[in-house]
Chain A
Amino acid sequence: DAKTTQPPSMDCAEGRAANLPCNHSTISGNEYVYWYRQIHSQGPQYIIHGLKNNETNEMASLIITEDRKSSTLILPHATLRDTAVYYCIVPRYNNDMRFGAGTRLTVKP
Chain B
Amino acid sequence: GAVVSQHPSWVICKSGTSVKIECRSLDFQATTMFWYRQFPKQSLMLMATSNEGSKATYEQGVEKDKFLINHASLTLSTLTVTSAHPEDSSFYICSAYPGLDNSPLHFGNGTRLTVT
Taking beta carbons and an 8 Å cutoff, which residues of A are in contact with B? 32, 34, 36, 38, 41-46, 49, 51, 85, 87, 94-102
Contact B91 A44 (CB under 8 A): no
Whether a CB of chain A sits under 8 angstroms from the CB of B93 is yes
A41-B110, A43-B6, A95-B32 known; A34 vs B43 contact (CB < 8 Å) = no
- Of B14-22, B69-77, B80-88, B95-103, the one contacting chain A is B95-103
Taking beta carbons and an 8 Å cutoff, which residues of B are in contact with A? 4, 6, 32, 34, 36, 43-46, 49, 91, 93, 95, 97, 101-110, 112
Q: A42 contacts which of B46, B102, B110 (Cβ < 8 Å)?
A: B110
Q: Say what secondary structure dominates the interface of chain A.
A: loop
Q: Say what secondary structure dominates the interface of chain B.
A: strand
Q: Across the interface, which residues of A come within 8 angstroms of B103, CB to CB? A: 94
Q: Across the interface, which residues of B come within 8 angstroms of A42, CB to CB? A: 109-110
Return B93 CB to nearest CB of chain A, in Å: 5
Contact B105 A97 (CB under 8 A): yes
- Expressed in whole angstroms, the Cα–Cα distance for A34 and B34 within the complex equals 17
